[in-house]
Structure 1
Amino acid sequence: MTDHALRKLRQDPRLAELAAFPFDFDLSRAAHGHVEPVRLASGGPIEVVAGSGSGGTYFGCADGSVLYADSEGGAGIIGSSADEALEVVIGLPCWFDCVNLSPHDGEQAVLARVAELEAELREDDDGFYAAREELRTALGLPARSPFDLVTLLHTALLRTEPDFLLLNEEEGGAYRLLDQHPRPPLWEPVLARGRADLALLRAGDRTAWDAVVGDAVRRRLALRAAQFDRADGDLDLLRHLLRRETESSMTDELRLAAVLVGRHGDVTDLPLLHEVRETDFDTHCGLSEIPEPGSDAAELTRWAEELDDMMFGTDPADEGLATWTDLALDQGLTELARVALIRELDEIFLDRSILRRPGDPARLDTSRLGRLACALERAGDLPQSLRAQRLYAALQDTAWDRISELRDQARLERTCGHLPQAVRTLASTRALLADPGDDSLRHWSRTNFGRFIAEEHYALTGALADAGLPEEARALLALADAILGELSGNAATGARKLAEETSERVGDLTGLS
């Protein structure tokens, strides 16, 4: 990957002028930046390289790739290097209209479409071909055919996600892809390791068995692979996976393993299933419907099939996104998970009606937002987690639920260093305590609910003190102490140690001021 051609453009005003017109790669527009503040979701650096007359921007990325963002919220990689991007821009000056072309369309169809687009350009500028030849030669770029350039562009565009997802800096929303080319569904790369491990287990290598079943993540993935690729000869390995999955307690994969074993209808597996069920309290509750010892094969099979139909199935496309994002994060495929989670969050922001309950469309099921906030925090993306959490808190129906989520919102704001916003959020929780508007808070002061509210007040007080804001810390400490004074029983006892530690920290700060 090189930027030889870009350096030549920067050194030669005549070449830079040719690049700006008719090829709309204008170095002078770099000084103006993009139409809005943007950043990569992955956190990687980007630098404005050039601009286009339509308000679009060419960004250079850390690995040398060039990302183009238009002024209407679309973005995509157009070259793995500046030189490659310039090959596309100069060789396909109509490249904006070629983003949905693919080498799979066939060479003849691609060449016909490019010829049609270039005929339109030639009508506007009869010196277009001469300018292209002069610029391409001066920059040392190869004279590739339009079909090869479309192939180059197509390959580059497919690299946009997951590493180069562009976000609006202020609102956090993601830019749409420039093209409409199909991408592999998330489950394919996530499940690849599980499929490979399932093949190892089926091969009967005992060393491989120990390595797979002894690793919690590989075990989960192998079970998911077995869910979608079922074989009559899998019963022994499924029994082994089931026994070992108890090490993780009550997981979806433990229930899946029990179902896959049960579907074989072998009543000699009932003692094993009951042993698994009694692993701990959670497994007892989660597998409480397993048929009792002495049941016949038909009853065992019926239980397994009904649970399978309700919770699992054989098509990975039917599995909820949370399954695949969780498994992606388990494997360290963080950027793949992040893209999927941000896209889902954007979808909700654009259309909250998708949260409507199927049986009660007047009400919203906001649990998806809570899951997104947790998953994005797990992915290390606190700004996106906070974005989800703020909407989640705003959509709660009862004072109890609103305060619970506002408290989490304040925690995220504090963790992100947004201390003034966290102070305002906690002020909202106190306002709801004073005037809840419903009876959901009747016992708040006698439960851990009240303790957690007080503890977040003390945690934020400590953060204010650490930030060198003594007046703000003292003011919030007084409010935290007032909440503590309303608590009773174990709630008050649980919060008192943190209260004392925080008071001491603020006192030390006061002594220094």
Structure 2
Amino acid sequence: MTDHALRTLRQNPRLAELAAFPFEFDLSRADGGHGEPVRLASGGPIEVVAGTGAGGTYFVCADGSMLYADSEGGAGIIGSSVDEALQVVLGLPCWFDFVDLSPRDGEEVILARIAAAEEEMREDYGIDETRAELRAALGFPERSPVELVTLLHTALLRTEPDFVLLTEEEGFAYRLLDEHPRPPLWEPVLARGRADLTLLRTSDRADWDPVAGDPVRRRLALRAAQFDRAESDLDLLRYLLRRETESSMTDELRLAAVLVGRHGDVGDLPLLYEVRETDFDTHCGLSEIPEPGADAAELLRWAEELDEWMFGTDPADEPLATWTELALDQGMTELARVALIRALDEVFMDQSLLRRPGDPTRLETSRLSWLAAELERAGDLPQALRAQRLHTALQETAWDRISERRDQARLERVCGQLPQAIDSLAAIRALLADPGDDSLRYWTQVNFGRFIAEEHYALTRALVDADLPEGARTLLAAADAILGELSGNGLKRLRELAEETAERVRDFRDLR
């Protein structure tokens, strides 16, 4: 498909006028842009090409797909190209009223819905003659409403993950135009693991290493085994358990131990003990494993209780973190990014989701900390910063506010938002001077103070690099003042960092 139709409309004012009215594809509205600044979550380019009288906007994406955004926060792909999208627009007048339709509705339902809508339009507009003229001029074939609904439905399902629209300033994601069901995140994420589990089950032990020796494929295979359990898997599970120790303490190591333990074979207790004693982390993480000499009932009780508490057999019950982390491990960045952004939006819209189950008067904000870390891992620093700022704002003690504000300043610095980073560090210094509680009693004697000073020096260097000497000198003085208050061991490297930073500031001054 090409953008032949768009070029033709741009070159022919009469055709452009017909497309604008009554089909609501108005090229003249492109110059006004969308109602608010927007961007794709993926970072891909988009170009406004037309609009509607109701404030909707048509965008063309880098691959030629057409994205439509309405004025009420909804957006979706409506065609794999401009030509395809225009066929939908012309063939399904008021197409946005039909986004709920799909081929599953059947020909009778689809034709009845479209016929009723077109009959209503015919009372005011001569859509048949106009549509025929446009189709002929643009070289479009005459397609049935059923075929056009199929095109629209297929296009809408492509919106996530690559074409999710965000508000530029706040970073909120537009909702989907439709409510058609999509595969849950775990399905594409787990697909490789399911395939590998089948491969392992049907191949000789000598051929297990390509999967078992790859940390990501091994983790996925163990997750697949979690949800597809078989009595015949015990030897395979033992092998994967041994190999997973190569990654030290992971959730999948614990899972592998549980899956082995659930077979209730006391002969596996020495193996489980050996796995537990791999290193300090595994010793702590698997400390509850029964000792060699325990009976089968104790082994089963341990495995079943931990399985019920942490794992289970339904992938839909797994926390979002399981699937976003495995998605990122496989390079499925956009899948993970969209899931994380929508989870963050959910918290912004309803902070009661953070209330502690046992104490609804208090908030448990670790979810925001996790979202910030995962979004940063996904390479989406603006969204990570959005999560971090909310996390910072919800802290209660001076210690926690400073700790999170320091992370916020780091992200602001990395994002190039240097004035905001300066403000964040100034807020930290104000809290140090007047904390309002006793949580900072020992801040000068522990690593907490060193971390604060390090971020001051890091931002000072960033200001030098940005050709902002006055700001660098001012912040250097503040950093040195913090360093002067610190005591205890481990300050040698910090003093070296202070001198290196001061030298960079001096060198910059000399160059000028």
TM-score scaled by length of structure 2: 0.99
Aligned residue for 1:74?
Answer: 74
The corresponding residue for 1:155 is 154
Match of 2:114 in 1: 114
CA contact (8 A) 1:445 1:491 kept: no
Are the aligned partners of 1:447 and 1:491 in contact in 2 as well (CA < 8 Å)? no
Residue in 1 that maps onto 2:100: 100
Paired with 1:210 and 1:88, the residues of 2 have a C-alpha distance of 51
**Separation (CA, whole Å) in 2 of partners of 1:18 and 1:372:** 48
CA contact (8 A) 1:356 1:365 kept: yes
Q: 1:294-353: per-residue Cα shift (whole Å, max 9, x none)? A: 110011000000000000000000000000000000000000000000000000000100
What is the percentage of aligned positions where both structures have the same residue? 80
Distance of 2:460 and 2:489 partners within structure 1: 22
Q: Secondary structure at the match of 1:489?
A: coil
**Amino acid across the alignment from 2:260:** V
The answer for the alignment partner of 1:13 in structure 2 is 13
Q: Does 1:31 align with 2:31?
A: yes
Paired AA for residue 79 in structure 1: G
Q: Secondary structure at the match of 2:435?
A: coil
AA aligned to 1:385 is A
Aligned residue for 1:211?
A: 210
Hey, what does 1:450 align to over in structure 2?
449
Equivalent AA in structure 1 for residue 198 of structure 2 = A
Choose 206-215 or 325-334, whichever is displaced more: 206-215
- Superposition deviation, residue 507 in structure 1: 0.6
Q: Which amino acid in the other structure matches residue 118 of structure 1?
A: E
2: distance between equivalents of 1:435 and 1:278?
Answer: 47
Instruction: Provide the rounded CA distance (Å) in 2 between the counterparts of 1:131 and 1:30.
Output: 22
Give 1:512's aligned residue: 511
Report how far residue 257 of structure 1 moved. Answer: 0.3
Q: CA deviation at 1:420?
A: 0.3
The one-letter code matched in structure 1 to 2:48 is V
Q: Please list, as runs of the form range in 1=range in 2, the aligned pairs for 1:348-497 lying within 5 A after superposition.
A: 348-497=347-496
Task: Write out per-residue CA displacement over residues 262-294 of structure 1, whole angstroms, 9 at most, x where no aligned residue.
Answer: 000000000000000001111000000001111
Aligned partners of 1:67, 1:491: CA distance in 2, in Å?
Answer: 55
Q: How does 1:75-474 map to 2 (within 5 A)?
A: 75-125=75-125, 127-206=126-205, 208-474=207-473
Superposed displacement of residue 207, structure 1: 5.2
Question: Deviation of residue 401 (structure 1)?
Answer: 1.1
SS, match of residue 78 in structure 1: strand
CA distance in 2, matches of 1:49, 1:78: 14
Alpha-carbon distance change, 342 to 138 in structure 1, aligned in 2, over 3 angstroms? same
Return the offset for 1:399: 1.0
Name the SS of the counterpart of 2:423 in structure 1: helix
Counterpart CA distance in 1 for 2:398 and 2:226 is: 42
CA distance, structure 2, for counterparts of residue 278 and residue 492 of structure 1: 35
Tell me how far apart the structure 2 counterparts of residues 123 and 353 of structure 1 sit (CA, whole Å).
50
Give how far 1:70 is off: 0.5
Rounded Cα–Cα distance in structure 1 between residues aligned with 2:181 and 2:467: 52
Q: Distance in 2 between matches of 1:155 and 1:249?
A: 44
The Cα shift of 1:241 comes to 0.5
CA distance in 2, matches of 1:53, 1:293: 75
AA of the residue aligned to 1:416: C
CA separation of 1:436 and 1:491: change in aligned 2, threshold 3 A: farther
In structure 1, the gaps of 5 or more residues are none
Distance 2:124 2:444 in 1: 75
Q: Secondary structure at the match of 1:35?
A: coil
Change (3 A) 1:356 1:497: same
CA distance in 2, matches of 1:417, 1:277: 44
How far apart, in 1, do the equivalents of 2:453 and 2:495 lie? 9
| Structure 2, gaps ≥5 residues long | none
Task: Provide the residue aligned with 2:3 in structure 1.
Answer: 3
Greater shift in the superposed pair: 488-497 or 115-124: 488-497
Aligned-partner Cα distance in 1 for 2:370–2:42 = 20
Measure how far apart 1:490 and its partner are.
Answer: 2.0
* 1:209 Cα deviation after fit: 0.7
1-structure distance, mates of 2:335, 2:59: 22
Aligned length: 512
Q: Deviations over 1:38-66 (max 9, x none)?
A: 00000000000101110110000000000
Q: Deviations over 1:398-440 (max 9, x none)?
A: 1111111100100000000000000000011111111111111
Supply the distance in 1 between the matched residues of 2:164 and 2:384 (Cα, whole angstroms). 16
CA–CA distance in structure 2, aligned partners of residues 492 and 436 of structure 1: 24
* Structure 1 position 47 matched with structure 2 position 47: yes
Q: Shift of the alpha carbon at 1:37?
A: 0.4
Name the CA distance, whole Å, in 1 between partners of 2:335 and 2:155: 17
Instruction: Check whether the contact 1:249–1:280 (CA below 8 A) recurs between aligned residues.
Output: yes
Please give the per-residue CA displacement for 1:143-184, whole angstroms capped at 9, x wherever unaligned: 000010000000000000000000000110000000000000
8 A Cα contact 1:200 1:208, kept in partner: no
Please give the secondary structure, in 1, of the residue aligned with 2:39. strand
- 1:89-117 Cα deviation digits (max 9, x unpaired): 00111201000100011111111111111
Letter of the 1:58 counterpart:
Y
Shift of 1:512: 1.8
Separation of aligned partners in 2, 1:205 and 1:324: 29
Q: Secondary structure at the match of 2:171?
A: coil
**Secondary structure of the structure 2 residue equivalent to 1:44:** coil
Deviations 1:208-228 (A, max 9, x none): 410000000000000000000
Cα RMSD for the two superposed structures? 0.8
Residue 491 of structure 1: how far off its partner (Å): 4.6
Q: 1:329, 1:376 → 2: CA distance?
A: 10
Q: Alpha-carbon deviations, 1:455-496, whole Å to 9, x = none?
A: 000000000011111100000000000000001122533411
CA distance in 1, matches of 2:94, 2:132: 16
Give the letter aligned to residue 76 of structure 2: G
Three-state SS of the structure 1 residue aligned to 2:123 is helix
